[in-house]
A and B are shown apart, each in its own frame.
Chain A
C-alpha cells in the first residue's frame, strides 16, 4: 500500500520534471547512485580496510582509501559525463505491426559522452548503447510495441554507467507524444466499390501508371505529391526534386476502400485495407477510406492522406 503510494508519488515528480520535448541535463534532473558493481567495489574497500588495519599495514589501508576516493571520483565523473547534454525528441516514426518503431532523438553534447544507454520504460526495445562525441548527433531507438494500435510514447530512460561501471547515472525524458502501429499489410486484390466509380465519373479501371509509354515529363516537386513519384535519378544527378508526370495522370482512378467489402476477422480486414491503401498510394490514385459510418476518410491523395488513412486504420 505504502509502496504504491511512494511509487506513484515518484512517478508524479518525474512526470512533472521531465515532461518537455527537450531537456538539458544539469544537477536537478540527473540521478546518480552506485551501481551493483559499485556496491561490490565498496565491499572490497571494507575488506581491504579490515585487512589493512588488522595487519597494521599502511599500504593496504592506503589502497582501501584510494578505492574509496575512486568511487567518489566516479560519482563526479559519472555526473559530468551526462551534464550539459541536451536531449530532444525529434520524431517517432510510425510503422507497421511486427516492424520496429524508430524513435529519433537528437543529442547535443558539449563534450564527449561515454556509454549512453537509451531505453524505453514502456515497450520492448533493441539495445541502443554507444559513445557520443562532442556536438550534435541524432540517434535512433527502435521500439517493438507489438500489435496494431495507437500508443503513448511514455517515459524514456537515458542512463550511463561510466566510469568503470561503478555508478549508475540516469535521467528521464517524458514526452507527450503518441505513435501508431499500422496493421501489417496483407496482399489482396485491389478491389474498389464499382458502384461509386460508375456513378461518379466512369474512369479507367486498371491502369498501370508505372508504364513508361505514358510518361509525359517532369515537373517540380510540391509538398503533398506522393514521394513514390519522385525521380530519384534526377535527384542524384542534379540535386533537384522532380516528379514524374504520366499522360494518364489526368484521369486518376478513384477508389473507395470499404471495411464492409472484406471478409475475415477484424484484423485481417484492416490488414487488407492497409495493403490497398498502400497500393493505391503507390499508383498515385485517389482514394477514400470507409471503416464505418462514423469513421471515414474523404477522397484525396498524397503522403498526408495516406498517413491519415493508416492512422485511422490503427485507431479503429
Chain B
C-alpha cells in the first residue's frame, strides 16, 4: 500500500468509529444527526474505495456548514451538551475526510482523546467503560500506526499494554487524589425516557409503554420500621382541567413551613433521568447538597439530574397550618358539565354517609361489585365524559384510570383530593439488601384531605388488584403475559428461566456496586475512606502517597525493563567472564587460549578443569556446531566448580 492509501485507511477506521459512537448515542442525538453522521461515513467509504475523488476545500466547508445547520435544527440550543458533543463529532468526522498528511491525521487522533471520553457524559455503565477503553486502545494503536508505521495488530498489542499498565494506577489516583469540587456549572445531558409524566390523562393511553430500565435503588435500614407497600412519592398533580391532571405549580418551590424529623434516614441512588424530581417515601427532606423539599414533602433538585446521584433521605412531618382557603379551592375544583353520572353518584354517596371513611367505603364497594378489571392494555376513551364511560362501560384500566376516577368523585363530594404519581414497590435484592425500582413500577394514586388531620393516601387500584401492592409489578403473576408483552425483548421478559433470572440478578448487582462505588464515589465518600485509611493524616498523606507510589512503580518498571536488556548475554559468556574475574590481571583483551594459560599458571591444581572448560567455551562460541544439552550442563557444572575451588 502506498502511504496515501495507508493514511486513507487509517482515517477510515476513525470515521467508522465515529459512526459507531453516534449510533450508540442515538437516543441522545436523535435520528437526523445520526443519519447525517452515517452519510459522512458513507462518503468517506466511497472516497476510500476511490469511486469519487476527495472533496475540495469548498465542499468540505459546505459540508461543515450543513452539519452545523443539522445540529442546530435537529438538536437545538435546549440540549447544550448534545449540541456540543455532536458538533465535535461532526467536525472530527469531516477532518478525517479532509486529512491528507500524517500531521493532520495525528491531530484527529489526539482530539479523539477528548471526543471519546465525552461518551461518559451520556452513559456510565460498565459496558460503556469497556467500550471507551477499546476506543482508546484503538486510538493509541492508530497513533503508533500513523506515526511509526507499526502494523495495526502489533500496534494494538503495544497500545493495550500501555493502557492496562496505566489503568490500575489511574484507579488508585481517582481514589486517593483529592477531588476538586466543580468550579463551573456545566449543562448536563438530557434524557427523556421515563415512566412518569407531568400531565396525566390515562384515558387517552391504550397501551402503557413500560421499560425495565432502572429508576433508582433504595437502601433502607434493616431495623427501621419500614414495611411494604412502598409508595415512592414523586409528583403531585393538583390541577385538573377536566381532561388532564397537571403537575402542581408548587412542585419546584422549597418548603417554608416548619417540620420535624420522624424516623431513620435511608439512602437512595437515583439514575440520571434528565428531570428535576426525585423519589422518597411519605414526606422527607435530604441533607444532600442540591436536594430540596417542597410543600408536599417530596424532593426535587435545582438542576436536571444528568448523572447518577446518591442522596440521604430523612422522613419528616410537616406541621403546616392546615389547608388555607385557596388550597381548598384548588383541591376541590372541578370543571362544570362533565361526567354527570360520576358526579351524581358521588353526591348520592355523600348524602348517605357522614364521614370521609364511609364515603370511600361506598366507592370501594362500587368498584368491587361491578367487577372492575386491572389491565395494562385498556381501550382508549376519547369521550368528553371519559370517567363516566370508564365507570359504567369499559370498567377496565390501570392505576391512572382508578386514581383519576376516585379523585374526581372525591372532589365531586367536596373532599379535597389530588393525584400523586411515583413508583410502587421495588425488587428486593437479598444478598445486598437494597430495593431496585424500575420504570415499569410507575404508579398513580390519590391523596385526600381530612380537616385537622392532614392528607391521607388512597390507592383505588388496590381494590381491583390487591396483589399489586406487595412487591414489584414483575412479580404479579396474573398479569405476567400482558406485562412481558409490553416489555419487548429483554432479560426481564425471560426471567422465569432460572438461569436467565440468575444472570439478570448478577448483572443487576454488579451495576449496583458499580453505581455505588465508582460513579458515586464523591467528595464525601472519599474523605470518609481517606480518614479510615490514613487516620489524622488524611489531608496530606493520600496525595503524597500517590506520588510516592507512582514514582516507586515507574522506577520498578524502569529497572525491570533495563535489567531485561542487559541480561541477554548467553550463558557460556557469563560463565567465562566470571572465571576471568578470578585472575589477578585483566583478561578482557586477551584471547581465550591466552586467558587459559594465565589462569592455569595461577591455579595449577585446576588446570585440567580449566582446559576442559575452555574446550567447551571455544566450541560454543567459535564453531558452527552448537553444544549438545549434556555438554552444556557439563560446562555449567565445570564453571561453577572452578569458581568454587578457586575461591577457597
Task: With A66-B167, A73-B165 as known contacts, state yes or no: A51 contacts B174, CB within 8 Å.
Answer: no
**Residues on A with beta carbons closer than 8 Å to the beta carbon of B521:** 58
Q: How far is the CA of A56 from the CA of B520 in the complex (A)?
A: 9
Whether, in the assembled complex, B519 has its beta carbon less than 8 Å from a beta carbon of chain A, the answer is yes
Task: Report which of A40, A59, A76, A161 forms a contact with B117, defined as CB distance below 8 A.
Answer: A59
- A241: Cβ under 8 A from any B Cβ: no
Hey, what's the 0/1 contact readout for B518-559 against A, CB within 8 Å counting as 1?
Answer: 110110000000000000000000000000001000100110
Q: Which residues of B contact A115 (CB under 8 A)?
A: 147-149
A48 proximal to B (CB < 8 A): yes
Number of A-B contacts (CB under 8 A): 142
Selecting from A162-170, A175-183, A206-214, the interface stretch reads A162-170
- Report chain A residues within 8 Å CB of B182: 53-56
A173 to B125, CA, bound (A): 53
Query: Please, how many angstroms separate the alpha-carbon atoms of A45 and B150 in the complex?
Result: 25
Q: Is A229 an interface residue (CB 8 A)?
A: no
Residue contact A41 to B186, C-beta cutoff 8 Å: no
| Contact pattern, B 421-434, Cβ under 8 Å of A = 1, otherwise 0 | 00000000000000
B136 to nearest A CB, angstroms? 7
Shortest CB–CB separation between residue A63 and chain B, in angstroms?
4
Q: A57-B121, A62-B171 are in contact. Are A41 and B163 (CB under 8 A)?
A: no
Question: Are A62 and B170 in touch, CB under 8 angstroms?
Answer: yes
Asked whether A66 and B140 contact (CB < 8 A) given A47-B114, A59-B519, A72-B554, the answer is no
Contact: B113 with A48, CB < 8 Å?
yes
Contact of B110 among A41, A69, A83 (CB under 8 A): A41
Query: Is the CB of A32 closer than 8 A to any CB of chain B?
Result: no
Expressed in whole angstroms, the Cα–Cα distance for A63 and B148 within the complex equals 24
- Cα(A67)–Cα(B557), bound, Å: 18
- Interface residues in B128-150 (C-beta closer than 8 Å to A): 128-129, 132, 136, 140, 143-144, 146-150
Say yes or no: is B576 at the interface (Cβ < 8 Å to chain A): no
- Of B118, B128, B147, the residue contacting A161 (CB under 8 A) is B147
| Contact with B169, one of A48, A59, A69, A131 (Cβ below 8 angstroms) | A69
**A131: which B residues are within 8 A, CB to CB?**
148-149
Q: Which residues of B contact A61 (CB under 8 A)?
A: 174
B321 to chain A, nearest CB (A): 39
Majority SS of interface residues in chain B?
helix
Q: Which residues of B contact A103 (CB under 8 A)?
A: none
CB proximity to A under 8 Å, residues B360-416: none
* Chain B contacts with A in 90-128, Cβ cutoff 8 A: 106-107, 110-111, 113-114, 116-118, 120-121, 124, 128
Q: Does A228 contact B (CB under 8 A)?
A: no
| B10 nearest CB across to chain A (Å) | 13
What class of interface size applies to chain B in its complex with A? Answer: 35 or more
Query: Known contacts A51-B117, A54-B183; is A59 also within 8 Å of B163 by CB?
Result: no
Query: Does B186 lie within 8 Å of A80, measured CB to CB?
Result: no
B166 touches A57 (CB 8 A): no
Measured in the bound complex, the distance between the Cα atoms of B176 and A36 in whole Å is 30
A19-54 interface bits toward B, Cβ cutoff 8 Å, 1 = contact, 0 = none: 000000000000000000100110011011011111
Tell me, in angstroms, the Cα distance from A301 to B261 when the chains sit together. 113
Q: Is B173 an interface residue (CB 8 A)?
A: yes
Please name 11 further chain A to chain B contacts, defined as beta carbons within 8 Å, in addition to the given A57-B519, A59-B518, A73-B165, sorted by A numbering: A56-B179, A58-B519, A62-B171, A62-B174, A63-B136, A69-B165, A69-B166, A70-B166, A76-B554, A77-B162, A131-B149
The 8 closest A-B pairs by CB, nearest first: A69-B166, A65-B170, A165-B147, A66-B170, A44-B113, A59-B120, A63-B117, A53-B180
Which of B's residues lie within 8 Å of A, judged by CB?
A: 106-107, 110-111, 113-114, 116-118, 120-121, 124, 128-129, 132, 136, 140, 143-144, 146-150, 158, 162-163, 165-167, 169-171, 173-174, 177, 179-186, 188, 306-307, 518-519, 521-522, 550, 554, 557-558, 561-562, 565-566, 568
